[in-house]
Structure 1
Amino acid sequence: MDGRATEPFIPVARLSDLDERGRLVVRVEGTPVAILRIAGQLYAMQDTCPHRGGPLSEGDVDGYLVHCPLHAWPFDVRTGACPSNAGVRLRIYAVRVVGEEIQVAPFSDRVSAP
């Protein structure tokens, strides 16, 4: 967890729901959220690029950067920051795994510590 014991987590999927690339899109409070497995860790972030609305879950991953499939804007899955566009950020969510269940904190703007 990220250190906040009161952080509310909700179950959104199971590990077996991730596709062969380690990706999944779920809805959290009505918002599409991309869950991505990178270097063995799960990250959760808004799935919609703020530039043109591209589905980030379909983008290329390079290290901890996921690139929008429409115009290649990069976003760091750990922070939501866009390194090529200062001030542009995605909403990120704390995510954890309990047993086989993937859980997301719906009101978070940060990821859990590994």
Structure 2
Amino acid sequence: MVSWVFAINENELADGEKKPLLLEGNAILLVRQEGNFYAMSNKCPHMGCPFSKGTLKGFIVKCPCHDWEFDIRNGEFLAASEIKDTVYGTKVSDGQVFVNMKGDL
């Protein structure tokens, strides 16, 4: 199932930047990396800390609370791939970025 929700205009986020958003009551982290947009829950599955306060290096976001590292492309925790954060599909249409709030990539 697909539920595309407008997030931001494409030109509002530069490559290598992240932005916290609230979409349909969900805390989302939107990242632009290497020209593509990635969306994931902005809450670390460990203690709920906001990834937006952490660091981004390449495709890896580090939780600011306990340094847990997650891949923004698939939500996997680098130290244990069975732990995952929710990721959301994204698309760009006419200069606007949309996030699939059903979570499907």
Identify the TM-score tier after normalising by the shorter chain: 0.7 to 0.9
Cross-structure match for 1:23: 18
CA contact (8 A) 1:36 1:57 kept: no
Describe the shift of the 1:78–1:20 C-alpha distance in structure 2 as closer, same or farther (beyond 3 A). closer
The structural deviation recorded for 1:53 is: 1.8
Could you tell me which of 73, 81, 86 is aligned with 1:78? 73
Runs of 4+ in 1 over 2 A off after TM superposition: 15-22
Corresponding residue SS for 1:57 = helix
Go from structure 1 to structure 2 and tell me whether the alpha carbon gap of 1:66 and 1:103 turns closer, same or farther (over 3 Å shift): same
Which residue does 1:97 correspond to in 2? 92
Secondary structure at 2:77 match in 1: coil
CA distance in 2, matches of 1:76, 1:83: 7
Given the superposition, is the C-alpha separation of residues 20 and 87 from structure 1 closer, same or farther in structure 2, using an over 3 Å criterion? closer
- Relative to its length, the structure with more strand (as a share) is 2
- Does residue 12 (structure 1) correspond to residue 7 (structure 2)? The answer is yes
Q: Percent identity among equivalent residues?
A: 28
User: Counterpart of 1:64?
Assistant: 59
Q: What is the deviation of 1:54? A: 1.6
Structure 2 residue identity aligned to 1:82: F
Which structure 1 segments of 5+ residues have no match?
1-5
- Counterpart residue number, 2:40: 45
Deviation at residue 43 of structure 1 after TM alignment? 0.3
Deviates more, 1:76-85 or 1:18-27: 18-27
Say if 1:25 and 1:35, in contact at 8 Å, map to a contact too.
yes
Question: Secondary structure at the residue paired with 1:49?
Answer: coil
